[in-house]
């Protein structure tokens, strides 16, 4: 995974050079949003556990949605195509507790994405755009075991999987270099092999596949450079 991050970082450093080469405009975006998650395997196991412990007060909440925050950097060509790299931190989690302690799963994941978008009008003029994404989903969460009178014990949860997305969006340019931007789309992102670094604990359970696929939305602000020829 470190090699993947290094490759994406190097690619990000190439964006200013690409912008210069095509006499385009570079831009940065930061924002947040959320989405729905499929999580069929995980929720099926949650339902089974909750049924087995019915009446004890020990109950996990189903994982069906979560927030995201992140950003992107890109450049627009003279033909109104935008290319770039983005990062989203996807939030997800559930926990159960009783008088003796608690067990919490934080299934946060890092979504590293490369994208291509076509805008109906160039930067500086408000318009809709259409885009596609390909990338990698990096599960980066933790399992936290707590017992009354003892300090919590944490174990890392990790795994990787493919990421694809299609979206439509719009930019509202308040000035030639500052805009409010938003997208809605559908994300496919699943980790089939999930590992918990807790091999010695008898309470450790095998985590089923994690599926972050579903409708998603982002909203944020975008800041653009001026074209070199301007």
The tens digit of pLDDT for each residue in 149-206 reads 888 899 999 999 999 999 999 999 999 999 999 999 999 999 998 988 865 554 445 6
Confidence of residue 22 (pLDDT cuts 50, 70, 90): low
Instruction: Judge whether residue 64 has pLDDT over 70.
Output: yes
Judged against a pLDDT cut of 60, whether residue 17 lies above it is answered with: no
Half-sphere exposure of 227 (CA within 13 A, CB side): 13
Q: In the predicted model, is pLDDT for residue 229 greater than 70?
A: no
Reported as a single tens digit per residue, the pLDDT across 192-219 is 989 888 655 544 456 789 999 999 999 9
Q: So what's the architecture of 2-224 in CATH?
A: Beta Barrel (2.40)
Query: Does position 220 have pLDDT exceeding 70, yes or no?
Result: yes
Least confident of 11-25, 56-70, 92-106, 136-150: 11-25
Higher-confidence position of 148 and 38: 38
- Residue 99 scores a pLDDT above 90: no
- The pTM is what? 0.84
Cα–Cα distance list, 114 to 19, 74, 191 (Å): 16, 10, 18
- Strand stretches in the chain, DSSP E: 25-36, 65-76, 81-90, 93-98, 101-106, 109-119, 127-147, 153-175, 178-191, 195-196, 210-211, 214-224
């Amino acid at each position: 995974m470190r090699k993947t991050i290094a490759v994406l970082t190097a690619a990000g450093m190439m964006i200013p050079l690409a912008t210069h080469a095509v006499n385009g405009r570079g831009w940065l975006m930061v924002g947040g949003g959320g989405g729905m998650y499929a999580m069929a395997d995980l929720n099926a196991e949650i339902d089974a556990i909750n049924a087995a412990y019915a009446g004890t007060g020990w109950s996990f909440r189903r994982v069906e949605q979560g927030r995201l925050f992140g950003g992107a950097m890109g450049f627009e060509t003279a033909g109104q195509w935008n290319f770039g790299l983005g990062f989203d931190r996807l939030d997800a989690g559930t926990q159960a507790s009783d008088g003796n302690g608690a067990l919490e799963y934080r299934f946060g994941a890092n979504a590293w994405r490369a994208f291509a978008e076509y805008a109906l009008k160039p930067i500086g003029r408000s318009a809709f755009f259409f885009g596609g994404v390909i990338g990698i989903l990096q599960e980066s969460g933790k399992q936290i075991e707590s017992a009354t009178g003892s300090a919590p014990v944490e174990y890392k949860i990790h795994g990787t999987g493919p990421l694809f997305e299609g979206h439509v969006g719009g930019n509202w340019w308040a000035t030639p270099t500052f805009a409010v931007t938003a997208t809605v789309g559908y994300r496919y992102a699943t980790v089939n092999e999930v590992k918990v670094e807790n091999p010695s604990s008898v309470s450790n359970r095998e985590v089923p596949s994690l599926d972050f696929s579903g409708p998603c939305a982002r909203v944020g602000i975008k800041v653009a450079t001026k074209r070199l020829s301007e």
